[in-house]
Amino acid sequence: MIGQLFSTFSNCLKIPELRSRIIFTALVLGVARLIALTPVPGLDGAKLAEFFSAQAAQGGGAGGVFGLYSLFTGGALEQCAVGALGIMPYISATIFIQLLTAVVAPLGKLAREEGGRAKLVAYGRYLTVVLCIGHGLIVALGWENPEKSFQGFSGSLVTMEYLWVYRFQTVVVLTAGTLLLMWLGEQITERGIGNGVSLIITIGILARLPGAARSLFAMFQQENTKFLQLILLVAVLAIVVAGVVAITQGQRKIPVQYAQRAVGRKIMSGGTSFMPLRVNYAGVMPVIFAQAILMFPGMIFEKLAAILKPGAFRDISVYIASHLGREGFVYLLLYSLMILFFSYFWVATQFNELQVADDLKKHGGYIPGVRPGSATSDFLHRTMSRITLAGAVFLMVIAVIPIVMSTRLKIDPLVSQFFGGTSLLITVGVLLDTMRQMESYLLMRHYDGFLKKGRVRGRS
């Protein structure tokens, strides 16, 4: 299997166009990593990086909003780097425009018009600039007051004399860094291989892999840790990765029959095809939404408990903050329920069964045993609801695994994040998508693919 994999990669380099795309993608991703390591002028980024290195050595990890955001920036936020905002403002703007397209009729109409998609992409870019300015100001103020932002940190990060000059300069630099990453991602998509924006996030996640390996090795150097536990962890990782791959590729194939129809003077013959309905249609979005929303109530009540005087309100704030922490059962329950809710919410906004049924009817297609029109839309609604439930339950299990490992088993969060959650879902999904694109080039040149049958197949 390993020999076949290396042989397939060597075949990729034999195809001139694919070879140039792979090299271009690798070079651009290298530039993206440089952006994540280049410090912002006027800040002592090395001091903050040393602080987090010391915390990691002591078994501590960044959690909450900072931990999630730092994950997507590949550690750039911890080093006061130019790419500290990462690509997330662009992704947030794109998701927001997509949701508005599903619920706002004029935007939905614009999306179906010729050239409408290009206008929506432009709107997303404008919104990205606005979000970068807001996020950049928050990050600049956080670096300005590190004692309040990072528990246990002492000293100052700002080396400039005038604070307003520092704030303005930092916001401009961080905004430019995100826009540069956005442009690099688009260049990869057009001239490289794979989805550029997703690859930039993935390379940031994988950049933490060496640190996780060192932490895992240090953990098993302790006297109370047995070698059998290491074998068990590796087995769990293999099972989880296999499950993520299976569900990511899993789909329900709905058979579609096309009748003969006349187009002008030509008679178009009928045929049989299928409509793939993905089991995990929402992807990683429900997990991201649930994490982002659940972070803020715990933070708010924790701040209230710190500033309120002793009394009933302070006791209530402490009680709620403790139960909304990642260690609490209430947090895990709410987290799971929100993943379930956002899985259905995302499918409801992105999959329009009425439009699908109407398109099938216009093109002379029908599902065997189901009447065209409203009966087809009802059938698609029921089918999608059932497979979405299976995908949501899978997401709930995958998302809870790293939390349980870090809180119950006391495993370093830097290690546990690779056993599930957003890190594993994004990495596996992006790598599979990149493999599919490389597979298409190989099959066109009659080379074997990454699998024995020469194709990355979806599970039915």
Q: What is the pLDDT of residue 68?
A: 61
What is the C-alpha to C-alpha distance for residues 177 and 79, in angstroms, rounded to an integer?
Answer: 14
CA 446 to chain centre: 33
Per the CB < 8 A criterion, the answer to whether 283 and 98 are in contact is: no
Look at domain 1-204 and name its CATH class: mainly alpha
What is the C-alpha to C-alpha distance for residues 220 and 124, in angstroms, rounded to an integer?
Answer: 47
Structure tokens at 194: 């794979």
Per the CB < 8 A criterion, the answer to whether 194 and 187 are in contact is: no
Per the CB < 8 A criterion, the answer to whether 459 and 250 are in contact is: yes
Multiple choice CATH, 208-281+351-460, 1.10.760.10, 3.40.50.2000, 3.40.50.1700, 1.10.3370.10: 1.10.3370.10
Structure tokens at 198: 């997703």
pTM exceeding the 0.85 threshold for the entire prediction: no
Amino acid at 130: V
What is the C-alpha to C-alpha distance for residues 33 and 76, in angstroms, rounded to an integer?
Answer: 9
* Surface-to-core class of residue 381, CB atoms within 10 Å of its CB (0-12 exposed, 13-18 middle, 19+ buried): middle
- The domain limits of the chain are 1-204, 208-281+351-460
Amino acid at 121: V
Amino acid at 61: G
- Two domains, one topology: 1-204 and 208-281+351-460: yes
Per the CB < 8 A criterion, the answer to whether 140 and 84 are in contact is: no
Token pair 């990355």 is found at 456
First-to-last CA distance in the chain?
Answer: 24
pLDDT tens by residue, the chain, 460 residues: 566 666 777 777 788 888 899 999 999 999 999 998 888 888 887 777 777 776 655 555 444 456 566 777 777 888 888 988 888 889 888 888 888 887 888 888 888 787 888 888 899 999 999 999 998 998 888 888 877 666 667 777 888 878 888 899 999 999 999 999 999 999 999 999 888 888 998 898 888 888 788 777 777 776 565 677 778 888 888 888 888 888 888 888 888 888 766 555 666 566 788 888 888 888 888 888 887 777 777 767 777 776 777 777 777 777 777 777 766 788 888 889 999 998 998 888 888 888 888 888 887 788 888 888 888 899 999 999 999 999 999 989 998 888 888 877 777 777 888 887 788 888 888 888 888 888 888 877 766 555 554 444 444 4
Q: Which has the closest alpha carbon to 403: 458, 349, 311, 325?
A: 325
Structure tokens at 69: 């955001």
- Sign (positive or negative) of CA dihedral 216, 220, 226, 228: positive
* Beta-carbon count within 10 A of 225 CB: 12
Q: What is the pLDDT of residue 389?
A: 92
| Residues in contact with 413: Cβ distance below 8 Å, sequence separation at least 6, in sequence order | 61, 62, 63, 67, 402, 406
Distances (CA, A) of 11 to 18, 189, 454: 10, 22, 13
Q: What is the pLDDT of residue 260?
A: 65
Q: For the chain, what's the residue count?
A: 460
- Number of C-alpha atoms within 13 angstroms, CB side, residue 415? 25
Q: Provide the b/e sequence for 100-113 (b: ≥16 CB within 10 Å).
A: bbeeeeebeebbee
| Residues in contact with 277: Cβ distance below 8 Å, sequence separation at least 6, in sequence order | 251, 252, 253, 254, 380, 383, 384, 387
Q: What is the pLDDT of residue 151?
A: 67
Token pair 């029959």 is found at 257
Q: Tell me 78's DSSP state.
A: G
Nearest 5°: the CA angle 65, 99, 177 is 50
Distances (CA, A) of 401 to 17, 384, 395, 411, 424: 41, 26, 10, 11, 11
Pairing verdict, β 266-268 and 251-258 = unpaired
What is the C-alpha to C-alpha distance for residues 354 and 102, in angstroms, rounded to an integer?
Answer: 13
Q: What is the pLDDT of residue 269?
A: 61
